[in-house]
Amino acid sequence: MRLTDYTDYSLRVMLYLAVRGEGLSTIQDISDAYGISKNHLMKVVQRLGELGWVETVRGRNGGLRLFDHSSALTVGEVVRATESDFALVACFHARNGAQDGQGSPHNERHCVIESQCRLKGVLERARHAFLSELDGHTIGELAEPAGPLAALLRIGRTIPVALVVPPDGEAPRVD
């Protein structure tokens, strides 16, 4: 199964904002961090805002941040909301130009072995297993540990550090 760039960018925005934590980020920040077109990200961010997952703050000092509840979203939820078509093969589409259950209209395509085909069931189970795996992981979980991801994304995040002073006059160490 292959996800669209739109879904990929949606997941990247959510992950960036989860790693960022407190404060606001701009679309330009995210664009620079990933090397993704700012125009593509604007469409993604607009949709994530409509879904109630990303808060957009307007104005001179505006930007983006995750709503508190958004870290608990599963990757599967994000993928289902941003992918338009989960039909792995033509026979997944409903007949007579109806919708396939995921919001995409399709033309009727008849397969001569459809009445005896077991491949469709195998592919349906594979699709279900794929989405089930994605449902087992939250955005917040994937953003941890935040320090290494923040460094790769060039996010100026403050990471708490503990200074440990051992007994017996040994040199202090940072944990």
CATH 1.10.10.10 fits 5-86+131-164, yes or no: yes
Is the predicted pLDDT of residue 9 greater than 90, yes or no? yes
Mean pLDDT estimate for the chain: 83
Q: Tell me, what's the pLDDT at 172?
A: 56
Place of tokens 């980020």: 25
Going by pLDDT thresholds of 50, 70 and 90, the confidence category of residue 97 is very low
Is the predicted pLDDT of residue 92 greater than 80, yes or no? no
Per the CB < 8 A criterion, the answer to whether 73 and 53 are in contact is: yes
Of 174, 139, 165, 166, residue with least CA distance to 54: 139
* Domain-wise residue ranges, the chain: 5-86+131-164
Could you give the percent of the chain with pLDDT greater than 90?
A: 54
Is the predicted pLDDT of residue 58 greater than 80, yes or no? yes
Q: Tell me, what's the pLDDT at 76?
A: 95
Per the CB < 8 A criterion, the answer to whether 17 and 65 are in contact is: yes
Amino acid identity of 79?
Answer: V
Q: Are strands 173-174 and 63-66 parallel, antiparallel or unpaired?
A: unpaired
Of 158, 154, 159, residue with least CA distance to 16: 154
Could you give the percent of the chain with pLDDT greater than 70?
A: 75
Per the CB < 8 A criterion, the answer to whether 71 and 138 are in contact is: yes
Going by pLDDT thresholds of 50, 70 and 90, the confidence category of residue 171 is low
Per the CB < 8 A criterion, the answer to whether 138 and 17 are in contact is: no
CA distance 34 to 103: 29
Residue 57 DSSP class: E
Place of tokens 């060039």: 154
More confident residue, 114 or 94: 114
